[in-house]
Amino acid sequence: MAEILQLIIYGIVLGSIITLGAIGVSMIFGILRFAHFAHGDIMTLGAYLALIGVGPLSLPMLGVFPLAVVATGLIAAGIDRLIYRHLRSSSPIIMLISSVGTALMLRSLIQLIWGPDNKIYTQGISMPYTYADLQIKPEQITIVLGTVALVTLLHLFLHQTRMGKAMRAMSDNMNLARISGINTERVIFWAWIIAAGLGAAGGIFLGIDTRLNPIMGWRLLLPVFAAAILGGIGSYYGAILGGIVIGISQELSTLFISPAYKPAIAFGIMVLMLIFRPTGIMGGQK
Amino acid sequence: MELAGLLNYIVFFLTVAGIYAVLVLGLNIQWGFTGQINIGVAAFFAVGAYTSAILTTAPSPDHLGGFGLPFLAGALAAMAIAAALGLFVALITVNLRGDYLAIASIGIAEIVRLILKNEEWLTNGVRGIPAIPDPLSGLVQGSHPALFLLIVLIAVGLVYFAVERLFRSPWVRVLRAIRANEEAVMASGKNVTRFRVEAFLLGSAIMGLGGALYAHFTSFISPSAFEPMYGTFLVWVMLIAGGSGNNRGALLGTFVIWLVWTGTEMFTSQAPEEWITRISAIRIFLIGLILEIILILRPQGLLPERPPRTPEADEKRRSGSSAE
């Protein structure tokens, strides 16, 4: 029993990281109508940008975190200006292929600058808190609380600000949003800032929990998409639920199968979902 | 010696380009003709390579094998198993939006990669399968890279003529119609699902053939040979650069991108030892950049797709030329 509870705790930590990626994928899908295959590498980028701050500049993570998040958002918006903007009139499939190209370019730049080896933010091991056979590291508590805070901020943004409402409107009905005078390019800009910013937060959390390497985000892409599909693509709250379900399932699967096959669980859940309920739990766009 | 070295290099260059050409022609059926996005080409490539390797090698305690079948049997089985994997993916995703196929295909690629790495009884894990026989080993003495190149060129030729012939068939006309307007095809009474599954299956089988050729060419395969960069992305960029939907474009794109890829290696291999892995990232960046530039400036590729000639047009041309 303790073992199961322990795996659920790890699952919630992993699920938090997946959730932060899945919200972004869902948001870009809702507003720009394409599956953003570079999202994993955007997460990697965020993690490495934070490494500049805590590594060579030895600043505290708390100060570096928002800077890396904003910088990643701005870079994603810049990539949109340079590349995706020119493809808006082509089919979403072409944008998808283009995002695969972006993924390659981001990953190769990261490898060029930081090299292919594993990196860590800080040396040393932290002592886990222990409570009745259950263990959790302080960083893991930070990750879960950080995710809760970011998701709460997102909720407030989407419901309390004009831009947030415009974003939801565009996600619901692009043409209706346009004729009611919403500046779509501005909404797209903010969508990139938020989607990539949350992705960067997820990437940094993953770096804190494990290590940084140039393919960390690409490896996470499958669970991230699985979470977004599970929750119903285009639905932010679904993405949160999907992320936690995928995270916990991946960890619990180690009770039955080799841990090497963890990503296969995300795929299995996604396939079942695609077969039986392609609109997702929360009934997003098909 | 210089000349012999150069000739050897040209033979090597053309052999690998030929293997890529088979993969690109397979992807052209899926993406070019039908509009299906398969981001897991590497999986079908790898499954083909491992199938043929397992069936043709001598007994080994390290992996499943010892069947000692001839190359042709291995290649046919490679096509069949890759097609079976294609059938599985197609059945899951066939009636969903294109994006879901793309996502499912990276899932399949990831699972195939995990199986190759972890199921040691089957594949010998990361240590790979060595001593995959040369298809000609029973027929001629020693190893002859030029003769293997000939086998690859024959395979490319056969696949090319088959897909080129198909391109003018009613079957591909339906695929192209599905790509353009699915509802209209459905309304005219075609079974869209069936055509889609067939297209995905055929493309996968051809990729499996590419895998078999690769296994017998290198005689050693391990999971690292089927990383997405080599197995999937180069293939995509080759097809898009050459011209999606145009078989000749697919061949041209393969040649040009392979030239760029190997050409840039000459520069990066000059770098100091400790920088080589970093510098070679520039080559990947360049491939990504080429993809973006083509998608923005010339999405139709070097040789744009041209609609196939109808039998009536063929008839007219023939009677026209005989009248002269």
Interface confidence (ipTM) of the complex: 0.90
Q: How far away is chain A from the Cα of B92, in angstroms, using its nearest Cα?
A: 7
CA–CA distance, B137 with B82 (Å, rounded to integer): 26
Mean pLDDT of A121-126: 76
Question: Is A51 strand, coil or helix?
Answer: helix
Q: Does A125 reside within a domain?
A: no
- A122, part of any domain: no
Q: Which residues, at least 6 apart from B263, have a Cβ–Cβ distance to it below 8 Å?
A: none
Where does the pLDDT of residue B321 fall: very low under 50, low under 70, confident under 90, or very high at 90 and above? low
Kindly tell me the sign of the dihedral angle through the C-alpha atoms of B295, B297, B302, B304. Answer: positive
Ordered by start, the domain boundaries in chain B are 13-226
Strand-pairing partners, residue B221, are: B129
Residue A137's SS3 state is coil
Q: Is residue A129 part of a domain?
A: no
Question: pLDDT at position A286, please?
Answer: 45
Sort out which chain A residues have CB atoms less than 8 A from B103's CB and list them. Answer: 35, 222, 225, 229, 270
Contact A101, B285 (CB under 8 A): no
Question: How many CB atoms are located within 10 Å of the residue B274 CB?
Answer: 8
- Distance between B276 CA and the closest CA of chain A, angstroms: 10
What 8-state DSSP symbol labels residue A212? B
Residue from the list A83, A225, A261 with its beta carbon closest to the beta carbon of B103: A225
Report CA A112 to chain centroid distance, whole Å: 23
Can you tell me whether residue A251 is helix, strand or coil?
helix
Which H, E and C letters describe chain B, residue by residue? CHHHHHHHHHHHHHHHHHHHHHHHHHHHHHHHHCCCCCCCHHHHHHHHHHHHHHHHCCCCCCCCCCCCCCHHHHHHHHHHHHHHHHHHHHHHHCCCCHHHHHHHHHHHHHHHHHHHHHCHHHHCHHHCECCCCCCCCCCCCCCCHHHHHHHHHHHHHHHHHHHHHHHCCHHHHHHHHHHHCHHHHHHCCCCHHHHHHHHHHHHHHHHHHHHHHHHHHHCCECHHHHCHHHHHHHHHHHHHHHCCCCHHHHHHHHHHHHHHHHHHHHHHCCCCHHHHHHHHHHHHHHHHHHHHHHHHHCCCCCCCCCCCCCHHHHHHHHHHHHHC
A225 inside 8 A of chain B by CB: yes
- Domain hosting residue A144, numbered range: 7-116+136-276
Neighboring chain B residues of A274 at a CB cutoff of 8 Å: 92-93, 96, 100, 104
- Least CB-CB distance to A260: which of B96, B103, B118? B118
Sign of CA dihedral B222, B228, B229, B230: positive
Do the Cβ atoms of A107 and B98 come within 8 Å?
no
Give domain status of residue A181, yes or no. Answer: yes
Judge residue B317's burial from the number of C-beta atoms within 10 Å of its C-beta, 0-12 exposed, 13-18 middle, 19 or more buried.
exposed
pLDDT at B309 over 70: yes
The CATH number covering residue A62 comes to 1.10.3470
B258 CB within 8 Å of a chain A CB: no
Helix or strand (DSSP H, E) at A130: strand A129-131
Phi/psi for B189 (5° steps) reads: 90, 15
Q: Which one-letter DSSP state was computed for residue A134?
A: E
Cβ atoms B26, B206 nearer than 8 A: yes
pLDDT for B323 equals: 45
Coil/strand/helix, residue B101: helix
Nearest chain A residue to B31 by CA: give it: A93
Q: pLDDT per residue over B17-58, tens digit each? A: 999 999 999 999 999 999 999 999 999 999 999 999 999 988
| The total number of structural domains that make up chain A | 1
Closest Cβ opposite residue A111 in set B39, B281, B299: B281
Query: Distance (Å, rounded) from C-alpha B77 to C-alpha B89?
Result: 18
pLDDT digits (tens, 9 = 90+) for B136-170: 776 666 677 888 899 999 999 999 999 999 998 99
Across the interface, whether the CB atoms of A270 and B229 are under 8 A apart is answered no
Is position A213 within any domain? yes
A174 vs A197: which has the higher pLDDT: A197
Residue A286 lies in a domain: no
Q: Would you report the helix, strand and coil content of chain A in percent, each value rounded to 5?
A: 75, 5, 20
Nearest to A49 by CA among A69, A34, A63: A69
Tens of pLDDT along B247-291?
999 999 999 999 999 988 877 777 777 777 777 888 899 999 999
pLDDT at A249: 94
- In chain B, residues 114-133 whose CB comes closer than 8 Å to chain A: 114, 117-118
A-chain residues near B97 (CB < 8 A) = 286
Look up the pTM and report it.
0.92
The count of CB pairs under 8 A between chains A and B is 126
